[in-house]
Structure 1
Amino acid sequence: MSLQHERYAPDSSYAWLRLAMALLVGTVACVGTWSVVVVLPSVQAEFGTARAGASLPYTAVMLGFGLGNILMGRIADRYGIVVPIVMGGIFLGAGYVLAGLAGTLWQFALAHGLLIGIGGAAGFSPLIADLSHWFRKHRGLAVVFGASGSYLAGVIWPQVITWGLQNHGWRATHIGIGLTALVVLVPLSLFFRRRPAAEALAAAEASSAGARGDLGLSANQLQLLLSVAGFACCVAMAMPQVHIVAYCGDLGYGVARGAEMLSLMLLLGIVSRIGSGFVSDRIGGAATLALGSVMQGVALFLYLFFDGLTSLYIVTGIFGLFQGGIVPMYAVIIREYLPAKEAGVRIGIVMSATILGMAFGGYISGLIYDLFASYRVAFLNGLAWNLINLAVVSWLMLRARPRLQAA
């Protein structure tokens, strides 16, 4: 019995294998947040709409993704991670098939919001929360690895979808994505049947209660603060991530170049996320989050002055390196300070705030482009929201610093 307990203990070899499988699930499930970015110009041409209208499906999928993170997180807290993964496979399969058959922009957007967005959430917050229970010493690193599935999806899927657009059209490509998600996610869910030990959850509960007392904030106060910070940082983050493909098309470089830049951004974002995990295990989640906010602001500032093809590749790479570790830090902070038994729903709430920020940022950037026929003002808007995030996280970092020094 003791040998079995050791085998499935936090930071065990099984925990690392579970992390690898979670990364695969996240990579497949999070396709929806990137596919709509790549097909944005095709959708705009197909349905004869303006740039803001073409951005509507992205807003819809992010709203569904945000709601799904809360719902799937709650289900994972109660029933385990298997149920959300199975639901995710079914929702994604149905959503992409219906999107491929859509006759209007509204049908396309509804398929993304009600099915693809909610289904894709199974590969984000619930997985992050589940992994956080299986690691103690390397929790920060495990969380960012788990969250990297969404970015790895952004590295792989845009290239696959670009090939599909060129050879089969966007409709057939969507149907193919749906079938792939269904046949991959449902069988993989069986690996995650084991749940963390009760004693591990109890120890985590006691640790977070003590840390929260040192911070001087209630659980709900900290949750609200993190939600505001998450929304603001992702409004800023959305401008390059959502519109880089269209931006390159407007500059005359072509959609394929934009897709390459998006993949580069997200590939380097994975490097950033992994690096932030090592850093957060040393200096804490709050300080790592503040550092990431500063660096993201610097990268957004650079976009204002460089729009040549080579310089855009460089600035986009810098942006990926700077911002990739921001979002997972909210999950790290939640596991440091909030109840472990509520990790799924609480991480889901804050992640949904970041997703709403992406949705709002993607739409408002398109609207600003329609008003000014330029993305320059949209980049300035992103900088303003980044300053709001920096103010909030800097205050939180100062509150957390005395505890870090004591530790």
Structure 2
Amino acid sequence: MSHPAADRYQPDSPYAWLRLAVALVIGSVACVGSWSVVVVLPAMQGEFDTLRAGASLPYTCAMLGFGVGQIVMGRVADRYGITVPIVVGALLLGAGYAAAGLSQSLWQFAAAHGLLIGMGSAAGFSPLISDLSHWFRRHRGLAVVCGASGSYLAGVIWPQVITWGLANHGWRATHFGIAVAVLVIMLPLAPFFRRQPSAATFAAAEAKSAGARGDLGLSAGQLQLLLCIAGFACCVAMAMPQVHIVAYCGDLGYGVARGAEMLSLMMLLGIISRIGSGFIADRIGGAATLALGSLMQGVALFLYLWFDGLQSLYVVSGIFGLFQGGIVPMYAVVIREYLPAKQAGVRIGLVMSVTVLGMAVGGYLSGVIFDYFSSYRMAFLNGLAWNLVNLSVVCWLMLRARRAAPPAQLAAEAGR
């Protein structure tokens, strides 16, 4: 007979869903570091008198810090639980935004983003995703993508808040305001996450992932490498619209405010995409869902080559958000399907850090291409090429997983 107190904290329990809701709040606040620098990019270019590539440098530094933070914070979460990364992340974000507001040069501004803001924001992504993956079995795909939607919810809310702050108080005061907000919201919520999954939950997950990995015919290291390659390639492609849409609209004469609106629209529809991909992943598996998302992202990038009117850019940006939103969380779903559960934090963190590196490289590379060609057309083509690399790797993995699936499982999926 099970104990009522123990049942309360089982996977897929009401407590697990409450934990997901609080995690979503933490993620939407912590991931401000991924978006604030995008909105202030044009202001930084004028403030520090630099080219577009130079103005893109703080974003690249933030993404590099975010990437390193995924591994470090993931390792800490595996060892001590998620509460410690949340507290540390809040303190780093507070210090980082205060330092950014005091910056007197581009290098100081970039260093604040790389060493503090990026590292702090990492607490709101892969450590939260890996933690949530332990609290769900039946609805793991849905839970993971909902948790990952915190970063996109941040992309919906923060660009509008920061645009208002820039217009009314200036960029320095806006950064100080963000520093206060993250401390006030994140620190009081951190103690909620002190409880960790039971030993029985971990044991069951370990047995299931070991069997699936054996059927796939790849070692843990080989699968990790493939996921890292795919993740890097997809995010180099993804960075072009996400990082440069504000500046792109400014160059076209539509104004940076229109670009910020497109970015928010992209992120809002990306949330819908992420949640939808969770439902799909719970039915057809993470690898197949990842391949579908990669294909559709390529379609959206292709559309950017042909449409640059104001209304059409709103439409294409919305399509891009709908198509690509579920891609990155699927790497976490695949990891939890095939790799050891007790290493989920560091393994998800490693793949996520590579995706962030792809965003950093893609954002900077797009700026370099723009400076060379004085046009974003070649940057979009560059994104398409990287997306093809991602699609090739993911399709190979999907087909291998399908061949490894037992006939009974395939028949069950076909009958759904």
TM-score, normalization: structure 2?
Answer: 0.97
Q: Secondary structure of the equivalent of 1:313?
A: helix
Cα distance in structure 2, aligned partners of 1:48 and 1:137: 53
The equivalent of 2:167 in structure 1 is 166
The equivalent of 1:50 in structure 2 is 51
User: Are residues 1:252 and 2:239 paired?
Assistant: no
User: Are residues 1:99 and 2:97 paired?
Assistant: no
Cα distance in structure 2, aligned partners of 1:357 and 1:404: 31
For residue 264 of structure 2, what is the amino acid of its counterpart? S
The number of equivalent residue pairs is 407
The equivalent of 1:194 in structure 2 is 195
The equivalent of 2:142 in structure 1 is 141
The equivalent of 1:77 in structure 2 is 78
Identify unmatched segments of 5+ residues in structure 2: 410-416
Contact 1:159 1:260 in 2 (8 A): yes
Cα distance in structure 1, aligned partners of 2:401 and 2:189: 39
Cα distance in structure 2, aligned partners of 1:136 and 1:361: 34
The equivalent of 2:289 in structure 1 is 288
Contact 1:215 1:399 in 2 (8 A): yes
Cα distance in structure 2, aligned partners of 1:50 and 1:248: 17
Q: Secondary structure of the equivalent of 1:31?
A: helix
Q: Secondary structure of the equivalent of 1:258?
A: helix
Contact 1:204 1:340 in 2 (8 A): yes
Give CA-to-partner distance per residue, 1:11-40, whole Å, 9 cap, x none: 000000000000000000000000000000
The equivalent of 2:338 in structure 1 is 337
The equivalent of 1:14 in structure 2 is 15
For residue 348 of structure 1, what is the amino acid of its counterpart? G
The equivalent of 2:67 in structure 1 is 66
Correspondence 1:299-338 to 2 at 5 A = 299-338=300-339
The equivalent of 2:413 in structure 1 is none
The equivalent of 1:3 in structure 2 is 4
Cα deviation for residue 184 of structure 1 reads: 1.0
Cα deviation for residue 182 of structure 1 reads: 1.0
Contact 1:47 1:105 in 2 (8 A): yes
The equivalent of 1:241 in structure 2 is 242
Cα distance in structure 1, aligned partners of 2:39 and 2:31: 14
Contact 2:94 2:183 in 1 (8 A): yes
Give CA-to-partner distance per residue, 1:292-348, whole Å, 9 cap, x none: 010000000000000000000000000000000000000000000000000000000
The equivalent of 1:357 in structure 2 is 358
Cα distance in structure 1, aligned partners of 2:133 and 2:395: 24
Give CA-to-partner distance per residue, 1:186-205, whole Å, 9 cap, x none: 11101101001110011000
The equivalent of 1:212 in structure 2 is 213
Cα distance in structure 2, aligned partners of 1:279 and 1:181: 33
Cα distance in structure 1, aligned partners of 2:322 and 2:104: 39
Taking only aligned residues, the RMSD between alpha carbons, in angstroms, comes to: 0.6
Contact 2:44 2:55 in 1 (8 A): yes
The equivalent of 2:176 in structure 1 is 175
Say which is worse superposed, 242-251 or 174-183, in terms of deviation.
174-183
User: Are residues 1:120 and 2:121 paired?
Assistant: yes
Cα deviation for residue 183 of structure 1 reads: 1.4
Cα deviation for residue 404 of structure 1 reads: 3.9
User: Are residues 1:367 and 2:375 paired?
Assistant: no
Contact 1:334 1:343 in 2 (8 A): yes
User: Are residues 1:271 and 2:272 paired?
Assistant: yes
For residue 269 of structure 2, what is the amino acid of its counterpart? L
Cα distance in structure 2, aligned partners of 1:336 and 1:113: 32
Give CA-to-partner distance per residue, 1:236-270, whole Å, 9 cap, x none: 00000000000000000000000000000000000
Give CA-to-partner distance per residue, 1:197-254, whole Å, 9 cap, x none: 1100110000000000000000010000000000000000000000000000000000
Cα distance in structure 2, aligned partners of 1:182 and 1:74: 23
Contact 1:63 1:355 in 2 (8 A): yes
Contact 2:31 2:122 in 1 (8 A): yes
Cα deviation for residue 405 of structure 1 reads: 5.3
Q: Secondary structure of the equivalent of 1:30?
A: helix
Contact 2:152 2:267 in 1 (8 A): yes
Give CA-to-partner distance per residue, 1:119-147, whole Å, 9 cap, x none: 00000000000000000000000000000
Cα distance in structure 2, aligned partners of 1:43 and 1:260: 19
Cα deviation for residue 100 of structure 1 reads: 0.4
Contact 1:91 1:115 in 2 (8 A): yes
The equivalent of 1:347 in structure 2 is 348
Cα deviation for residue 179 of structure 1 reads: 1.0
The equivalent of 1:89 in structure 2 is 90
The equivalent of 1:228 in structure 2 is 229
Cα distance in structure 2, aligned partners of 1:276 and 1:23: 17
Contact 1:143 1:277 in 2 (8 A): yes
Contact 1:82 1:189 in 2 (8 A): yes
Contact 1:283 1:404 in 2 (8 A): no
Identity of aligned residues (%): 78
Give CA-to-partner distance per residue, 1:167-195, whole Å, 9 cap, x none: 00011000110111011111110110100
Contact 1:284 1:404 in 2 (8 A): no
Cα deviation for residue 402 of structure 1 reads: 2.5
Contact 1:239 1:365 in 2 (8 A): yes
Contact 2:215 2:405 in 1 (8 A): no
Give CA-to-partner distance per residue, 1:18-63, whole Å, 9 cap, x none: 0000000000000000000000000000000000000000000000
The equivalent of 1:384 in structure 2 is 385
Contact 2:41 2:247 in 1 (8 A): yes
User: Residues 257 and 405 (structure 1 numbering): CA distance in 2 closer, same or farther, change over 3 Å?
Assistant: farther
The equivalent of 1:156 in structure 2 is 157
Contact 1:73 1:126 in 2 (8 A): yes
Cα distance in structure 2, aligned partners of 1:73 and 1:404: 30
